[in-house]
Structure 1
Amino acid sequence: MKVIILGAGVIGVTTAYYLAKQGAEVVVIDRQREAGLETSFANAGELSYGMSSPWAAPGIPKKALKWMLMRYRPLTIWPLLSTTMWSWGLQMLRNCNEASYRINKSRMVRISGYSREALTDLMAEVPIQFDQRELGTLQLFRSEKQVISSKVDQEILEEFGSPFRVLDREGCIDAEPGLKHVSEKFVGGLQLTSDRTGDCRKFTTALASEAEKLGVQFRYNETIKGLRHEASGISAVMTENGEVEGDKFVCCLGPFSAVLLRKLGIRLPIYPVKGYSITLPVMDGDAAPQSTIMDESFKVALTRLGDRIRVAGQAEIIGYNKSLGKHATDAVRHVVNDLFPKGGDQSKIEGWTGLRPMTPDGTPILGRTKFNNLFLNTGHGTLGWTMACGSGRAVADLVAEKEPDISFDGLEASRYA
């Protein structure tokens, strides 16, 4: 069986690896020169098993209006003349209720919990180093109102068996000693103890090397133009260098999945939500974060990756725009300077921007399509790194006609029919 994987980000590479392990002949096609150079390149670095929640939640519309008025705003919406953007936004608003939130959350937790197990197994199989740590995520609260609001999250975490600890100011400092320098700026926190951290780009390139050892062929610098289909299904991928034939095909193109598959009559509600990050070298290890801190006020994550600090956040709805303007990273710069002013060398900041493939209900789109040999592994939003190993292994099993370990109920594109 020859399987063609579209996309060499962390989703495409994990899918390729798990298929190769099952004996498939695998070809991965990507327009970049190496694996992991788009959304996987410089994300927050957090493996957020405990924080796998949809953005569409009760109260979010009201909060969104408040965020857009902040100086260092977590959310910016550009009113584009785009029916795709407004349709996606309306679908998201329809999911901002308690019933939808619980359904979507349960689907996301199903994937992320399985992904934690899959990554644990994978790390035992292959010697991959990616600056990984297992110290959890600290959700930091700057006000008592945020502490009170977190009780709803605690109930949901208990319901789905996600371990956590409620911390006062001193507890936060015990978990993240670097915060002792700014103790007056927060009142408490919620620690998700099962979360991990790690460099997604390092993981992706290392796993790509392991996949090559299993016989996976990577065709880089090759732009995908479309898919050739016949009555029996998809027969080939059309690229700028010609056609690549296969028996089965898996689309792992993130925000570009919707663009490609629209030509086949497959309409996926995936929209590119732009995010930003900065990376800076650690200057004082004791004054830097040890794991991941999520600043609840600014929706910015700060993560320790070896001798570097990654600071990521913001949500900008502006279509397929990847420009990095002069003040684009002001919000993430502000947060690292506010919480860890002595931790990193801010004279050596590297900025980055990427497009998150967001669905309106937060859940990725996995599994079958109307073509019997075309499969999906896309739409993971901000949780592609978190869910990569789980969704990659589950989709690989489905493609290989092996019973997956998790149910695909509510995960396939048919839920939008």
Structure 2
Amino acid sequence: MSGSLPTVVIGGGLLGAATLYELASRGEPALLLEAKEALATETSFANGGMLTPSMSDPWNSPGVGRHLMASLVDPTAAMKLRLHALPDLLGWGLRFLRHSSPARHAAATEASFRLALDSTQRTRQLIRSQGLRCDASFGGTLKLFARPRDLHGPKGIAQRLAALGLRFSVLSAAQAVEREPALAAASSRVAAALHFPDDVAADACALTRELARLARANGAQVRTSVAAQRIVVWQGEVTGVETEGAWIAARRVVVAGGCGSRALLRPLGLRLAVRPAKGYSLTFDVGHLSSLTPLPSLPVIDDAMHAAVTPLGRRLRAVGTAEFAGDDLSLDARRLDNLFALLQRLYPEIASRVDRSSGTPWAGLRPMSADGLPFVGPAGPKGLWLNTGHGHLGLTLAMGSAALLVDQMLDQPPAVSPEPFRATR
């Protein structure tokens, strides 16, 4: 052990649970605080369910500014900007656009991929070795394109990342259906596809809770319904966390609270360049259909919609879109209708057999950094650490980010360079 005081992790989503697990597995005293009654009830609850090194490119790709402006008058835009969110986005948005230059976007994509590949390998190994119950599957992902020319950009990114270890293959429509027979009825709408065999599917909520279970078995503590109100600093060093009516002494504090991290850090003079990007999902139980029609075996991504349908055990989850709407978690029926329309296009037989009203709708706020990379490392006063800002890659990067963070804490050589993810960049 490295001292009697624990490292306090703030945030009971996937990043917090992964951090807790990593600390506990190395013999570090650790305590997780979660404001809600259970872990993974917010952004980690019903997200896309995919670990995708193949999708390491940040969303601020070159030309993103034009798409965002156009989205103001297009209710169906895959990436939607809401007018009421503009004031809070101005400074962040300028940085977001500045990092959309080809050179900066390419550098961020490569850095993100290195961490994503390491993280996915760790997650796959842990799920298999520990028998984690999180509806995991290991057949990769399939990205579909309606026109041959639409394949050009994503294929170019994949070719660049192949030099760093990305495996992929280009498939015809017939080959895509051979890989995923449930797509047979939609084959006329597919011109080409990319298959990424090393991508993984898993339920982020279940994985979060499994990681917390393993961490507890290694001596860590988890306290739910406890909200961190203030990080206490004395003479330039973190000494603990203040909650309602209590003070918890800490050796270190890790802020892994997603979009809520901003409010905790602001009193310390840290302005975190993270803003919420709302994503939607619609989940159906389809287990009863297995004897009537082929069910999908791997996630299928519609590149044009930035949306996907992911099989998770008995369930099918349609997920996607990015909406810059501030902290608004209300459900826009049109966005959910778009997801059901995707299910109808890809799997018409399944869509015709499910009751639309039986789908469970959900929205969560992805913590999106201005440059598309997470903040993983020390920040501000001594003893303060960040693990947040993972955007659409939270599930993909969680285990790798936790390892990278704890390697830095314990002065151990990391598997991935921490430089691109510096919390003070």
Scaled by the length of structure 2, the TM-score of the pair is 0.93
| 1:211 aligns with one of 209, 215, 237 | 215
CA distance in 1, matches of 2:69, 2:326: 20
CA distance in 2, matches of 1:346, 1:241: 47
| 1:181 aligns with one of 180, 185, 208 | 185
CA distance in 2, matches of 1:124, 1:350: 29
1:293 aligns with 2:300: yes
- The equivalent of 1:154 in structure 2 is 158
- The equivalent of 2:402 in structure 1 is 392
Counterpart amino acid of residue 189 in structure 1: A
CA contact (8 A) 2:146 2:189 kept: yes
Gaps of 5+ in 2: none
Report the Cα offset of residue 385 of structure 1: 0.4
CA distance in 1, matches of 2:235, 2:7: 19
- The equivalent of 1:308 in structure 2 is 315
Report the Cα offset of residue 233 of structure 1: 0.9
- The equivalent of 2:388 in structure 1 is 378
CA contact (8 A) 1:139 1:190 kept: yes
Shift in alpha-carbon separation, 1:186–1:69, aligned structure 2, 3 A:
farther
- The equivalent of 1:26 in structure 2 is 30
CA contact (8 A) 1:51 1:192 kept: no
1:58 aligns with 2:62: yes
Which deviations, in whole Å up to 9, do the C-alpha atoms of 1:292-330 show, x marking residues without a partner? Answer: 111012111110101100111111111111122444412
CA contact (8 A) 2:173 2:192 kept: yes
Shift in alpha-carbon separation, 1:358–1:200, aligned structure 2, 3 A:
same
Shift in alpha-carbon separation, 1:35–1:399, aligned structure 2, 3 A:
same
Gaps of 5+ in 1: none
Root-mean-square deviation (CA, aligned residues, Å) is 1.7
> Helix, strand or coil for the counterpart of 2:348?
coil
Deviates more, 1:394-403 or 1:266-275: 394-403
1:350 aligns with 2:360: yes
Which deviations, in whole Å up to 9, do the C-alpha atoms of 1:40-65 show, x marking residues without a partner? Answer: 10001011012111111123333445
Deviates more, 1:267-276 or 1:396-405: 396-405
CA distance in 2, matches of 1:274, 1:308: 22
CA distance in 1, matches of 2:301, 2:131: 29
Report the Cα offset of residue 227 of structure 1: 0.9
| 1:90 aligns with one of 90, 94, 105 | 94
| 1:276 aligns with one of 271, 274, 280 | 280
CA contact (8 A) 2:79 2:323 kept: yes
CA distance in 2, matches of 1:365, 1:34: 25
Report the Cα offset of residue 88 of structure 1: 1.4
Which aligned pairs between 1:306-345 and structure 2 lie closer than 5 A?
306-343=313-350, 345=354
Counterpart amino acid of residue 356 in structure 1: R
CA distance in 2, matches of 1:386, 1:173: 26
Which deviations, in whole Å up to 9, do the C-alpha atoms of 1:380-417 show, x marking residues without a partner? Answer: 001110011111122122223333222211211222xx
- Following TM superposition, where does structure 1 have runs of at least 4 consecutive aligned residues deviating by more than 6 angstroms? none
- The equivalent of 1:410 in structure 2 is 420
Counterpart amino acid of residue 382 in structure 1: H
| 1:225 aligns with one of 223, 229, 244 | 229
CA distance in 1, matches of 2:302, 2:245: 46
Counterpart amino acid of residue 259 in structure 1: A
> Helix, strand or coil for the counterpart of 2:268?
coil
CA distance in 1, matches of 2:107, 2:271: 22
Over the matched positions of the two proteins, sequence identity in percent amounts to 29
> Helix, strand or coil for the counterpart of 1:100?
helix
> Helix, strand or coil for the counterpart of 1:401?
coil
Which deviations, in whole Å up to 9, do the C-alpha atoms of 1:77-102 show, x marking residues without a partner? Answer: 11226543111111111111210011
CA contact (8 A) 1:314 1:331 kept: no
CA distance in 2, matches of 1:143, 1:270: 34
Counterpart amino acid of residue 380 in structure 1: H
Counterpart amino acid of residue 203 in structure 2: D
Report the Cα offset of residue 67 of structure 1: 5.5
Counterpart amino acid of residue 293 in structure 1: V
CA distance in 1, matches of 2:387, 2:155: 33
Task: Count residues with an aligned counterpart.
Answer: 415
Counterpart amino acid of residue 333 in structure 1: F
CA distance in 2, matches of 1:322, 1:126: 35
CA distance in 1, matches of 2:144, 2:380: 44
CA contact (8 A) 1:367 1:377 kept: yes
